[in-house]
Amino acid sequence: MAKVIYPGTFDPITNGHIDIIKRAAELFDEVIVTVAKNPSKTCLFSIEERIQMLKESLKDFEKVRVDSFDGLVVDHAKQVGAVGIIRGLRAVSDFEYEFQMALMNRKLSSGITTIFLMPHEKYTYLNSTIIRNLAQFKSDVSDFVPQAVVRKLKEKFSH
């Protein structure tokens, strides 16, 4: 059974993330969407809130499950028995960082392969920071994120 992880902060998950998850689910037997506990990032949503939004947004994906981890991505991949790490590439600007991370992950664990997937072009400009900024100023983000996220963003910024 070929299992992969798709790690990220998902603060919040966007339709671009979901497009990558859908593509990965077409290629692998199981996709574990893994919420990273990244101490260098300040997140709008707690780990629990992000997991809840992911589970609600991905409930119709039979081959996908949601998890979280604290530590190195390759260690988590080994722990869950994954053969690879899915990474999304939206633009050339993503490539240099992702390439460095893929090489480091290969050095740390040669048995784990990094797989780069590109989202549909209609999502290439999307990222979680843009979504948070739009929502903060009460813009409609319903074209860019699942309904579970729309609701949570409205709750966060309703004050």
CATH of domain 3-128: 3.40.50.620
Beta strands in 38-117 (DSSP E): 64-69, 84-88, 113-117
Annotated active-site positions, please?
17, 41, 90, 128
Domain ranges of the chain: 3-128
Q: Which regions of 37-90 does DSSP assign to beta strands (E)?
A: 64-69, 84-88
85-124 pLDDT, tens per residue? Answer: 999 988 777 788 889 999 999 999 989 999 999 999 998 8
pLDDT digits (tens, 9 = 90+) for 121-155: 998 888 999 999 999 999 999 999 999 999 999 99
End-to-end CA separation in angstroms for the chain? 47
**Of 144, 114, 123, nearest to 132 (Cα)?**
144
